[in-house]
Structure 1
Amino acid sequence: MKVVKKYSSNDFKGFDWLDFDYLPGSKGFKFEVYFKEPKDLVSKSILIFYSLFRSFLDDVLITTFGQDGEWGNFCLDTWDIENDRYDYSPHNKKEPTASYLSMLNDSGIEPEYNGYCKCINWDKFLYVMFHCVAQHTAPYSMMFYEPKNEFVFYFHHSGSFGIYYKDLNSSIKKVIRKVQEENLEIKNTNDKRVSSIAM
């Protein structure tokens, strides 16, 4: 069963204000959202993900972290260091890498694919992806682009979401209010306006 599908349109090519080599050097704004690491980081991360971003998911495009990354390289243990090559077979891989590679195969996503995808089954995708991050087989989540409102977000294994945006528009303000409702903490922002947004 497909979980993601390739985004075949050429309408979206990323954000020219986003610096992939050094994200803090981007021309837009950013903040990070932190929560105390619970016993079950995966379940908590999925709940927070839905709470903050559910209303945008129909428009979200997903790609690997950074620029031109290949989907098969999301998990670090696809690299066979002894033979100096990549191995994208789910066989002889530990969980959750095996589940991730099987998900790609079932979705018809070649490991070498470096484009955007749309998600068909968010529950399955998030469960697999967050397990990869929580168990440190992937250092970061995928990157989630919202083209209509020009922002991108991702998850880090420390239990934080990073959000980069071009303008402090109504959608970003909505995310900030959701952060406040969830009693989460905003840190590392370069936008002084963020702290002044009331619930």
Structure 2
Amino acid sequence: MDAVVKKIMPRSDYMDKPATNRPSQAEVEAAVLTLLRWTGDDPEREGLRDTPKRVAKAFLEMFNGYDMCPAEELGRTFEEVAGYDDLVIVRDIKFHSHCEHHMVPIIGRAHVGYLPDGKVVGLSKIARVVDIFAHRLQTQEALTAQIAGVIQEVLNPRGVAVMVEAEHMCMAMRGIRKQGSSTLTSTFTGVFKDNPEEQIRFLTMVRAGQGG
């Protein structure tokens, strides 16, 4: 028998896409041209002539999270789960984002868990939510909170746990230039926030099979 699918209505700030006021293609290309000149290079040389167009196209792809609503990704849930109500974890969701301070890459992985309350969501939807938030200008702290927040508010599970591990190119490429260092952030809601044992269980399951 097919699983029962229920449409739920998101009820929070995650309902809408961020308001954007995009400039024209010509304005974007002119801005990139200015940056090329700022580097000291010659925008007219062969290798750079089409760079403004390429950058504009790449930005539309890398920042397409502004065109998507994460709550919509979680709007279809499944209730026929044979009574399953224990921990669900999607581990090692690889992502790339960009630091909102320097607009350089953040490369990492997210681990997301939740305790269902009568319904579950497709596992790919969790990964999709990570990508939507990651494809915006970000701080890692905000990214971690946003992932947990939308899952908690839209699915209304008994609790959500999120851990994000990432390397920030703003540390590796500029400033102190420390390659290979990673930043860990985590946030917990509901049962996870109230019960340290559930936090430990989540972290233990995330680390299982990762070689310590």
TM bucket (normalised to shorter chain) is 0.3 to 0.5
Q: Looking at secondary structure, tell me which structure has more helix per residue.
A: 2
Q: Point out the structure with the larger strand share.
A: 2
With normalisation by structure 2, the TM-score equals 0.31
Instruction: Tell me the TM-score normalised to structure 1 length.
Output: 0.33
Does 1 or 2 have the higher relative contact order (CA < 8 Å, sep 6+)? Answer: 1
